[in-house]
A and B are shown apart, each in its own frame.
Chain A
């Protein structure tokens, strides 16, 4: 009995020793994600978190990140909720800055990204600017041109300007007989407004379409009778809807009631997700959307599968978060970060400089070009709703 007790004690001591030894050798690099995890766009946060966790797991399984001294470190992911609220977002980034996180990935909403980038240091090495010196690598907030606010802000979101330009060009080429476009816009949501007024409307006109006008509604609206009558009266060939899933579904159902069928429906980038397919799978049939993600190759399928294991779904937003993790790993290694907590601010600066240096990055659909103002020029394709799924319609690249 005494022997058994001794053996158990020895085994326990050995395990404890080995465990602490491993812990002593193992360094961890923390990347903190943030985005909306409450409210109606909670799904965006859930998907981004799942994609980041999945990517970190894959990186760690492949040996982790190589540090300046040649040792390896694992990546740890934490995700904070900013509730798609500007004040919360600013509070969250200040909290992240106070931790040992090397970089932040987020936010979900453009109305959070804009003020949040505003509290980062505008220009690096500006001694008079006490803004936060924290690299923020955005995965979701898509409103154009936000990264130019601060040299610490980077984005890996597709350019709606380029994508809609290409989509209207393609429609013009394939269906030259279609001449007119009418818009539908969720007037009180920053992304929807920016997408219609600054992108879709402009790009349609630039491609030779006559833009006949737009109908407006609010994010909370549930009655679209008047708007659909306006659309019907305009009788445009193409109806472009810049709205999120709930009102998109409400509008499509009202269009069905009033028996209004434009020749083609163009949707907002964020709509190419599962939400619309759950809300109005039949009514959305045929809608075309440009997107920077579809599981069309081995890598993209693998990323989608790994994200699904973490209970997230793969779309253009969450897969940007996946890509961000691999880009950050690449930069950590190329810039030879130390991984020491005492050198945290030096490492953060290295990450910023490394991200700024990138001319191209490897994305799931191909090579992404990085622009001078720290934005991405991502590969994209057109998908359409078919049989309750988003199916690739055309690859313009």
Chain B
């Protein structure tokens, strides 16, 4: 029983990483009703850019690496918007889906070619911290990631509900044509959404690098899959849903691994997704149906 609880606890904490990626997916979907498949890859790309700081300054402080990853993530987010959304007809859902899949593979290959596929050591934060309560232990760095995810959620909710940009974003999300008639520049709002999620993604990528300890192109595809699962389970467009679903998926993943082994683990995670799609297609925090 103790093993089970510890495994679930480990998983829930690691789920904070999935939550961070899920937030990015869900935010873009909430605003544009599109899936950005390149989000996790761009996040990891941002983290790789952060490591460039260490090439220039070997003893650079960790916060500088994070800052560079954060900024690079924003830039990559804007580039993804330009290449995969801005010039592509948004009326065709498949076009943007495929263009972002292409971007995912492109970013992946750029990383592989620039690093020759070698894993890169990433500076850690709170790596040495291990909180213990009796037989249980919790990783300090993952608690930090969880705290960052919650802070991101609060910041995003403040941005969406307390700023003019947020108002414009919600307007575009609900009725793009009406928003345009009110004088809101839809393309600008969409671009800013990508920059904001990109900034978040760059930070998330660096946090992932810090908690895994190593960056590798191998991270992009599993994070994309997990990010999508989290987005669907949490409820498309729901930021709190992404966080809860991230932790849930992480916990279930470890529990399945403990009982059924690593080779069957992902099978059950997928089954969990199907269960949600069949019985609760709107996810945990499904948005209420509006007038539209």
Q: Enumerate chain A interface residues (CB-CB to B < 8 A).
A: 38-43, 46, 187-188, 216-223, 225-226, 229, 245-246, 249-250, 253, 257-259, 274-276, 278-281, 283
* Shortest CB distance A317–B (Å): 14
Q: Are A43 and B118 in contact (CB under 8 A)?
A: yes
Q: Which partner residue on chain B sits nearest A256 by CB separation? A: B127
B10 touches A225 (CB 8 A): yes
Q: Across the interface, which residues of A come within 8 angstroms of B7, CB to CB?
A: 225-226, 229
Q: Which residue of B lies closest to A281 (CB)?
A: B121
Task: Report the minimum CB–CB distance from B122 to chain A (whole Å).
Answer: 9
Q: Is B262 close to A, CB under 8 A?
A: yes
What 0/1 pattern do residues 214 to 251 of B give for CB contact below 8 A with A?
10111101100000000000000000000000000000
**Nearest A residue (CB) for B215:** A279
Bound state CA distance, A225 and B214, in angstroms?
A: 15
Interface pair A258/B137, CB less than 8 Å apart: yes
Q: Across the interface, name the chain A residue whose C-beta is closest to B221.
A: A220
Q: Given A188, A217, A229, which contacts B6 in the complex, CB threshold below 8 Å?
A: A229
Tell me, rounded to whole Å, the shortest Cβ–Cβ distance linking A364 to chain B.
23
Q: Whole-angstrom distance from the CB of A236 to the nearest CB of chain B?
A: 18
Contact B218 A246 (CB under 8 A): yes
Q: Is B117 an interface residue (CB 8 A)?
A: yes
Q: How far, in whole Å, are A345 and B117 apart by their CA atoms in the complex?
A: 37
Complex contact B118–A226 (CB within 8 A):
no
**What is the bound-complex CA distance between A274 and B116, given in angstroms?**
11
> Is the Cβ of A250 less than 8 Å from the Cβ of B213?
yes
B14, B113, B124, B137: which contacts A223 (Cβ < 8 A)? B14
Query: Do A216 and B221 touch (CB < 8 A)?
Result: no
Whether A40 lies near B6 (C-beta < 8 A) is no
Minimum C-beta distance from A389 to chain B (A)? 15
Contacts of B221 in A (CB 8 A): 220
Most central of B112, B219, B254 by chain A CB within 10 Å: B112
Q: Which of B112, B121, B257, B258 contacts A40 (CB 8 A)?
A: B112
- Chain A neighbourhood of B34, CB < 8 A: none
A276 to B124, CA, bound (A): 17
Q: Please name the 3 residue pairs, one residue from A and one from B, whose CB atoms are nearest each other, closest first.
A: A279-B119, A253-B213, A225-B10
Q: A42-B113, A280-B214 are in contact. Are A225 and B14 (CB under 8 A)?
A: yes
Query: Among A42, A46, A274, which residue has the most Cβ atoms of chain B within 10 A?
Result: A42
Binding site for A on B (CB under 8 A): 3, 6-7, 10-11, 14, 109, 112-113, 116-121, 124, 127, 130, 137, 139, 208, 212-214, 216-219, 221-222, 254, 257-258, 261-263
Is B216 touching A246 in the complex (CB atoms < 8 A)?
yes
Q: 12 A–B contact pairs at CB < 8 A?
A: A40-B117, A187-B263, A223-B10, A229-B6, A245-B118, A245-B119, A249-B119, A249-B213, A250-B214, A253-B124, A276-B119, A280-B121
Contact A220 B222 (CB under 8 A): yes
Q: Is the CB of A257 within 8 A of B119?
A: no
**C-alpha spacing A216/B11, complex, angstroms:** 16
Collect the chain B residues with CB atoms within 8 Å of residue A218's CB. 262-263
A216 with B258: CB separation less than 8 A: no
Check A279–B120 contact: CB distance below 8 A. yes
Output the nearest chain A residue to B121 by Cβ-Cβ distance. Answer: A279
Residues of B near A249 (CB, < 8 A) are 119, 121, 213-214
- A390 CB, nearest partner CB in chain B, Å: 15
Q: Check if B261 sits within 8 Å of A41, measured CB to CB.
A: no
CA distance A43 to B113 in the complex (A): 9
Given A42-B117, A246-B214, 11 more pairs with CB closer than 8 A:
A39-B112, A43-B117, A187-B262, A216-B263, A225-B254, A249-B119, A249-B214, A250-B213, A257-B139, A279-B119, A279-B120
- Flag if A274 contacts B118 (CB, 8 Å): yes
A278: which of B109, B121, B212, B222 is its contact (CB, 8 Å)? B121
Q: A187-B262, A216-B263, A218-B262 are in contact. Are A40 and B218 (CB under 8 A)?
A: yes
**Distance of A245 Cα from B116 Cα, bound (Å):** 13
In the complex, are the beta carbons of A229 and B130 less than 8 A apart? no
State how many angstroms separate the Cβ of B198 from the closest Cβ of chain A: 22
Q: A278 to B119, Cβ gap below 8 A? A: yes
In the assembled complex, which residues on chain B have CB atoms less than 8 Å from the CB atom of A278?
Answer: 118-121
- Minimum CB–CB distance from A27 to chain B (whole Å) comes to 35
In the complex, chain B residues whose CB is within 8 Å of the CB of A225: 7, 10-11, 14, 139, 254
Q: Which of A219, A222, A259, A275 is B118 in contact with, Cβ under 8 Å? A: A275
Q: Which of B121, B214, B263 contacts A188 (CB 8 A)?
A: B263
Please tell me if the beta carbons of A226 and B119 are within 8 angstroms of each other in the complex: no
| CA of A280 to CA of B121, assembled, Å | 6
B260 to chain A, nearest CB (A): 12
* Complex Cα–Cα for A330 and B20 (A): 58
Q: Chain B contacts of A41 at CB under 8 A?
A: 117
User: How close is A349's CB to chain B, nearest CB, in angstroms?
Assistant: 37
Q: Which residue of A lies closest to B113 (CB)?
A: A42
C-alpha gap A394/B289 in the complex (Å) = 71
List, in ascending order, chain B residues with CB within 8 A of A222's CB.
208, 212, 219, 222
CA distance A257 to B258 in the complex (A): 20
Contact partners of A283 in chain B: CB under 8 A: 213
Q: How far is the CA of A155 from the CA of B143 in the complex (A)?
A: 50
Residue among B117, B218, B263 having the largest count of chain A Cβ atoms under 10 Å = B117
The residues of A that contact B11 with a CB separation of less than 8 Å are 223, 225
A279 close to B113 (CB less than 8 A): no
